[in-house]
Amino acid sequence: MDKYQIHYENECYILGMMMRDNSLVDETRLKPKHFLNTHNRNLFKVMKELRNEEKPTDMMALSQIGENRMAIFGGINTLSNVYGLGVRGHNFNFIQQKMIEFVAIDEALQEVEAFIDKTKYAHSSQQLNELISKINNVQVTTIKPQSSFKEKLQQRILQHSAMPEQGLSGTSTGFISLNKALDGWQPSDLIVVAARPSVGKTAFVLETMRRGARASKDYMGTFFSCEMSEEKIIDRWIASEGKIPVAAMSNPNKFFSGRQEYWDKYHKACGELAEFSINVRSEKDINEIRAVIRKIVKDNPNKKHLFAIDHLGHIDIDESFDSNHLKFTYIMKYLKDMQKEFNVPIILVAQLNRSVEGKQDKAPTMADIRESGSIEEIADVIIFPHRPAYFDREQREVQEIHDVELIIAKNRNGFVGTLPFQFVKKTNLYLDKGM
């Protein structure tokens, strides 16, 4: 596809997203010059004018500004075209940056072509210096605006002053010992929770979300289940809250028959969960996940958020890579950029290599994470739920409550070590053994 056609489509994606989310018009770093198509450029100008007048820029508002004003951007045909394409674009900042870079390079090429034309018959240092100066000016315009260090320092001082003397600086983990170790899930962290299948990593993440919602009224947790159905995740939460066997949740009418105490627990658990600020989502595409997180954070600015994604191997991306290592590196960088942009803790569930089962002590290390290089490097916190009974079939089947070591193998900003927990596999319940 021609590069100018790609740029045109990016223009349409951006404008369509702005029509669907009017706040993007205020936040964008784009200028009219970044829209090479005349109709798109004029539409962008009209949208900026409307926002300056504190008016909406959605499809309805733009279609009612009058025929003369609509004519400058091609009328309803242009609106319909960009609005439809806006559905396909999710990563606003990525596309915006691509547009800025494209126009910057285009401007540089024009300067180079002018320089070549001027120097056909004569060379002079003045012409070269002019070219260098113009190219440098083009480069400066592509750099993101930055606050001065003094402004950043003042902002950090304000953040420090607003921190509570009591309570947690982060989002509650729901566990006393883990809150003491981490001071809650920090908004600066991308957290990886990794283990072998059925050890209890997803159960742990669901537990920290359920317990966190119980512990704090300003909590909001969102679980992206890329592997399991939403119904099965809800079943697990009901089982943990009601201390009901998870297996029975596949058909309560059958397995609760003659067990009124189970129905009592079930109804009480559902009543409690209905008051918790937690949710399960089924998005798997990384751009869709980003769009959901952005909207939730924007719509709930005063909440302490926690987002969890289960799991790394089931996240869908548009790009294709020659190896899982490159694919997982891309996903990790994308999630880290997302975490930094929205300033919220994100937990990513991941798998361990089978090789951990061949170790004498079976205790996992960061080298045991699948495609560990990029995950180990990019993650801020890495946690391994380690359940020794998982590796001993007899012990696993006889014991109802298993000891679990929560190994915090990496933490950029604090505690590294092991915390003792217990895991009730029957109900997927985690217990804080250290407290």
- Mind listing the pLDDT tens digit for each residue in 324-364? 888 999 899 989 989 998 999 999 999 988 877 767 777 88
How many distinct structural domains can be found in the chain?
2
* DSSP string covering 75-88: HHHHHHHHHHHTTT
Tell which wins on pLDDT, 132 or 58. 58
158 occurs within a structural domain: no
26 occurs within a structural domain: yes
60 occurs within a structural domain: yes
Same domain flag for 112 and 192: no
Examine the pLDDT at 396 and tell me if it is beyond 70.
no
Residue 210: pLDDT band by 50, 70, 90 thresholds? very high
Cis-peptide, bond into residue 311, ω within 30° of zero: yes
Domain boundary among 105, 124, 142: 142
Same domain flag for 299 and 411: yes
Q: What is the CATH number of the domain that holds 346?
A: 3.40.50.300
- Mind listing the pLDDT tens digit for each residue in 233-247? 999 999 999 999 999
Residues 380 and 303: their CA atoms lie apart, in Å, by: 22
Same domain flag for 121 and 199: no
- Mind listing the pLDDT tens digit for each residue in 25-71? 988 889 999 999 999 999 999 999 998 888 999 889 998 998 888 99
Q: Are 318 and 162 contacting, i.e. CB atoms less than 8 angstroms apart? A: no
Same domain flag for 138 and 172: no
161 occurs within a structural domain: no
* Structural tokens at position 77: 């045909």
Residues 77 and 421: their CA atoms lie apart, in Å, by: 61
Q: What is the CATH number of the domain that holds 98?
A: 1.10.860.10
Same domain flag for 172 and 266: yes
335 occurs within a structural domain: yes
Q: What is the pairing mode between strands 304-310 and 346-351?
A: parallel
Same domain flag for 282 and 383: yes
153 occurs within a structural domain: no
Tell me what the pLDDT averaged over the chain comes to.
88
Provide the residue range defining the domain that includes 178: 168-431
